[in-house]
Amino acid sequence: MKVLVTGVKGQLGYDTVNELKKRGHTPIGVDIEEMDITDSASVNQVIKEAAPDAVIHCAAWTAVDAAEDEANQEKVMLVNGTGTQNIANVCKELGIKMMYISTDYVFDGQGETPWKPDCKDYKPLNVYGKSKLAGELAVSETLSKYFIVRIAWVFGLNGNNFIKTMLKVGKNHDKLTVVNDQIGTPTYTFDLARLLVDMIETEKYGYYHATNEGGYISWYDFATEIFRQAYEIMGEEEYSKEHLTVAPVTTAEYGISKAARPFNSRLDKSKLTANGFALLPTWQDALNRYLKDLKTQE
């Protein structure tokens, strides 16, 4: 199968291309230099020349706080909404399947009940969420052969993420505060990429949720486990309990971000099992493998 993957320079696009190669598929990885998704002519030309059997659309504006800046809001909608519509239009014309990577931010993040993939109670809290919802609607209203996969708390080797930030900050501070009232589950792009390729090989279309297993946690829980494992794996004294204290705070107490964040990022993944897809490993196991890979990279 020939698969065009957008956002190849990002964490997920990078791992998805590698996974496709491992499976014997032919990936065509593109980023803005090869295909500007906001330019319909560029999208039309690149996809038609590539003539893929499917498109996995990972490219997106993901800077959540920067999206709130008035100067950026139109661009965010252009990238995540219009850009996705441009791709969907070509996929429809060619009669090929499309996979769109979305987010729990399309919901309002309230309550404690895990969001089900087919829930249509959309109430995004911020510009980023609104733009990703626009992308979802572009796909679902244009195509019949589509996958919309919502993910959360992403980390991968090829890019910046919460883990890398914690490791960097932890080396230069002896006390950190991390929010403990935003609840969800991390997603390792290496594991997610395998699931996405499993899915694109089928015709089991629709909305899905995908994160690692291991239970719902707060960012504070995640941070403490990051440092615990980092000390074990990397042996850096800065990450030991004797050198570093991590304290829980509420979102209100932390109070820095421009964009409103969801308190409830719990995603119901039972639809994966119902459709015969293997669930991802636990986030604790994923973190362990990730930290070992980071150490190897060094």
- Global model pTM greater than 0.75: yes
CA atoms of 238 and 226, how far apart (whole Å): 13
CA atoms of 238 and 231, how far apart (whole Å): 8
Q: What is the pLDDT of residue 256?
A: 73
pLDDT tens profile 122-169: 999 999 999 999 999 999 999 999 999 999 999 999 989 999 999 999
Selected catalytic residue, list 14, 128, 231, 290:
128
pLDDT tens profile 180-229: 999 999 999 999 999 999 999 999 999 999 999 999 999 999 999 999 99
| In the chain, where the domains are located | 2-160+185-213+266-281
CATH of domain 2-160+185-213+266-281: 3.40.50.720
CA atoms of 58 and 13, how far apart (whole Å): 6
Provide the mean pLDDT of the chain: 96
Answer yes or no: 128 catalytic.
yes
Rounded average pLDDT over 45-69: 96
Question: Which residues are bridge partners to 217 per DSSP?
Answer: 184
The angle that helices 219-234 and 162-172 make with each other, rounded to 10 degrees, is 70
Rounded average pLDDT over 84-112: 98
What are the C-alpha distances in Å from 100 to residues 88, 134, 147, 242? 9, 12, 6, 44
Position of tokens 């990051």? 226
For 210, half-sphere exposure in the C-beta direction (CA atoms, 13 angstrom radius) is 32
Statement: residue 114 has pLDDT above 80 = yes
Q: What is the pLDDT of residue 297?
A: 84
Q: What is the pLDDT of residue 298?
A: 73
Using 50, 70 and 90 to split pLDDT, how confident is the model at 59?
A: very high
